[in-house]
Chain A
Amino acid sequence: MLSNYLIVGAILFALGLIGFLTRRNLIIMFLCAEMMLQGVALNLVAFARHRGNLQGQSFTLFIVTVAACEAAIALALILVLYRSSGSLDVSLWQEMREPDQDATLDEEPLPPPLPEEPLPRLTPAGREPRQPEETSHV
Chain B
Amino acid sequence: MLMLPSSIMGVSPLLWPIGPCLLLGLIAVILLLPRPSALPQWYGAAFSAAALLLGGATLVRVGGWSPEGVLFYAFSGIAVVSGGVLITQRNPARAALAFALVVLSTCGLFLLQAASFLMAATIITYAGAIIVTFLFILMLAQQRGASDADLRSREPFLAATAGFVLLGALLYVLFVTYRNPESEVVLAALDAHLAPAVKAVEKPAADDQVVKALDWGKFFEEAPQVVPEGTPEPRLAALRQSFQNIEGDRWFNVQLQSANEQAKFIRETVAEMHQAVHVARHSLGDLQPQGQRLSEFSGTKPSAMPKFDALGQGPMPAENVAHLGRSLFTDYLLAVEMGGTLLLVATIGAIAIAHRKNS
Q: Which A residues are within 8 Å of any B CB, using their own CB?
A: 1-8, 10-19, 21-28, 30-32, 34-35, 38, 41-42, 45-46, 48-55, 57-58, 60-62, 64-73, 75-80, 82, 87-91, 104, 106, 108-111, 113
B149 partner residues in chain A, CB cutoff 8 A: 24-26, 87-90
List A contacts of B346 (CB < 8 A): 68-70, 72-73
Residues of A within 8 A of B306 (CB): 51-53
Contact with A along B218-239 (1 / 0, CB 8 A): 0000000000000000000000
A24 and B155 contacting across the interface, CB-CB below 8 Å: no
A21 and B118 within 8 A (CB)? no
Known: A8-B79, A13-B170. 4 other contacts (CB 8 A): A31-B86, A55-B298, A69-B345, A71-B134
Q: How far is the CA of A102 from the CA of B99 in the complex (A)?
A: 33
Q: Are A38 and B106 in contact (CB under 8 A)?
A: yes
Q: Is A7 in contact with B349, judged by CB distance below 8 angstroms?
A: no
Nearest CB on B from A25, distance (A): 4
> Residue B138 at the A interface, CB < 8 A?
yes
Residue of B nearest to A89 (CB): B149
Instruction: Please give, as numbers and ranges, the residues of chain B lying within 8 Å of A46 by CB-CB distance.
Output: 113
Chain A residues closer than 8 Å to B80, beta-carbon distance: 8, 11-12, 15
Count residues of B near A (Cβ-Cβ below 8 Å): 104
Report A83 CB to chain B, min CB distance, Å.
8
Residue contact B353 to A77, C-beta cutoff 8 Å: yes
Any chain A CB within 8 A of the CB of B256? no
Chain A residue with the shortest CB-CB distance to B351: A76
| Contacts A53-B298, A111-B37 given; does A104 touch B154 at CB 8 Å | yes
B31 at the interface (CB under 8 A from A): no
Q: How far is the CA of A38 from the CA of B101 in the complex (A)?
A: 12
Residues of A close to B60: CB separation below 8 A: 4, 7
Mark B residues whose CB is within 8 Å of A.
Answer: 29, 33-37, 59-63, 72, 76, 79-80, 83-84, 86-87, 92, 95-96, 99, 102-103, 106, 109-110, 113-115, 117-118, 121-122, 125-126, 129-130, 133-134, 137-138, 140-141, 143, 145-156, 159-160, 162-164, 166-167, 170-171, 174, 177-179, 282, 298-300, 302, 306-307, 311-317, 320, 323-324, 327-328, 331-332, 335, 339, 342-343, 345-347, 349-351, 353-354
A23 touches B87 (CB 8 A): yes
Beta-carbon contact of B115 and A57 below 8 Å: yes
Q: In whole angstroms, what is the CA distance A67 to B118 when docked?
A: 14
Q: With both chains docked as a complex, state the minimum distance between the C-beta of B139 and any C-beta of chain A, in angstroms.
A: 11
- Inside 8 A of A60's CB, which chain B residues have their CB? 115, 118
B145 engages A113 (CB within 8 Å): yes
B146: contacting residue among A12, A34, A52, A113, CB under 8 A: A113
Q: Is the CB of A24 within 8 A of B148?
A: yes
Query: Is there an interface contact between B314 and A57, defined as CB atoms closer than 8 Å?
Result: no
Question: In the complex, which residues of chain B have a beta carbon less than 8 angstroms from the beta carbon of A55?
Answer: 298-299, 302, 327, 331
